[in-house]
Amino acid sequence: MGNTVLIIVGVILIAGTLGFLLAKLLEKNNASQIVSNAKKEAANIVKEAKSEGESIKKDKILQAKEKFIELKSEHEKVILSRDKKINDAEKRTRDKESQVSSELAKNKKLNKEIETKVKDYDDRLEYLDKRQSDIDKLHASKVQQLEVISGLSADDAKEQLVESLKDQAKSDAMAFIQNAMEEAKLTAEQDAKKIIINTIQRIGTEEAVENCVSVFNLESDDVKGRIIGREGRNIRAIEAATGVEIIVDDTPEAIILSCFDSVRREVARLSLHKLVTDGRIHPARIEEVVQKTTKQIEQEIVEVGKRTVIDLGIHGLHPELIKAVGRMKYRSSYGQNLLQHSREVAKLCATMASELGINPKLAKRAGLLHDIGKVPETESEMPHALLGMEWAEKYGEKPDVCNAIGAHHDEIEMKTLLAPIVQVCDAISGARPGARRQVLDSYIQRLKDLEDIAFGFAGVKKAYAIQAGRELRVIVESEKVNDEKASALSFEISQKIQTDMTYPGQVKITVIRETRAVNIAK
């Protein structure tokens, strides 16, 4: 049994070994066959690649030859074109050379002609100099003969002739000026008066007089103590915050706010009103209320400016100019509220411009802005008219408006008819009775200066400033001043007043010459 198993196992081992060997042999045969087939395919592929490469090589060679031929033809064309350009340039150069040669020949010919003429002119000048010398000698001899005959030297005769011609020319000029002025008055004075009177009658505004003080009314005198505060600290805080002097006196239920700046006075008045209404009055609260009130006033200034330009129908005004117009509400000129004055001037300008056929809107614009130079936020040494013109130019106003602003006090030359209209309307508004407050001392001094100017001329006997300085009557000595000199004296006094004095409106100069013959019958 055991032997049988061993035999069977041995047989199986032998059979397995034989099968493995047989499989290896078969696999080897298959691999060799596959390798041979692969070699055959590789040879075929290489053969096909060679044939295809030859065909591609032939195509590329043909393409390169065609490209070479094409580039060669293009290069030949470029060379031909370049040769043609060179030939043209050479031809132009030859033409220029021939032209230059002809021009040189002409110039040589002209130079010869010029030299000939110069020589001729030199000969003529020499001849003229000689003739002039002879004439001068002849003139000197003639003058000497005339001096001997007349008994006067040439300088004395010339002086007498100049004096006689001067007196005659002065007399003729004064007569011509007088006639021209009379003729102009006949034609222009009536129309001018009509236009001005119609303009004034159509404008009616209130008389406004500003003061440097404001009165703040109180409900009772007990509030005064709260405003003053302990040891006066509240009133000192208000004065320091607003820059306004507060006067607390025996006036019942009122205190006085004093300051030259209307904006500061208004800030102080509104701040006191808020503090008294609220009841809390102490330094910290005072500073807070003053700051808020200042911002409120600034907003109110802008609103006033906007309302003003809307009321007057003015459009497109720069915001900074609108703000300047609003600040006019808190400024005064000779006691006249500046905003009311500017509104009045604007309306007068529009009316007068309409009568003269000029654009009334442009005139109204110039009239409103003519005094904006009086409301600067910083101090300036420039005259207000020039400063206002500078602002108007800066913020895009038209040249006509800028010139009217700068020329309404004659600081610059008037270039358009709009400038004298603004000047006249400004004088009308300022000269209205009650419009401005005049200081008595300056008023008396102005009248005295008018009379002193008249006394500065020879032949003046008496001089009286009347009609509140609108007229100057001059009485002259009839023995020293004749009728022609009286007319000339009136003109000279008017010119002297224009150059030496500043005054609103016009001053009429009347020269009176009177001759009296007195006898006594006994």
DSSP codes of every residue in 465-498: EEGGGTEEEEEE-TTT--HHHHHHHHHHHHHHHH
Low-confidence ranges of the chain (pLDDT < 70): 1-3, 147, 150-158, 160-161, 164, 180-181, 183-212, 260-261, 333-335, 377-380, 431-443, 468, 504
CA separation for the pair 303, 413 (Å, rounded): 35
The per-residue b/e assignment along 75-110, b for 16 or more CB within 10 angstroms, e otherwise, is eeeeeeeeeeeeeeeeeeeeeeeeeeeeeeeeeeee
| pLDDT value at residue 504 | 66
**E strands along 56-165, which residues?**
none
Instruction: Specify the pLDDT at position 178.
Output: 73
- Per-residue tokens: 362: 């442009």
The CATH H-level superfamily of 438-513 is ANL, C-terminal domain (3.30.300.30)
CATH 3.30.1370.10 fits 215-299, yes or no: yes
The pairing of beta strand 213-217 with beta strand 254-258 = antiparallel
Query: Superfamily for 337-431?
Result: Hypothetical protein af1432 (1.10.3210.10)
State residue 112's pLDDT score.
87
pLDDT value at residue 206: 45
Give residue 207's pLDDT.
43
Separation CA 346–CA 425 (nearest Å): 8
What pLDDT score does 203 carry? Answer: 54
Instruction: Please tell me the predicted confidence (pLDDT) of residue 435.
Output: 53
d(CA 134, CA 129) in angstroms, rounded, equals 9
**Per-residue model confidence as pLDDT tens digits over 62-103:** 888 888 888 888 888 888 888 888 988 888 888 888 888 888
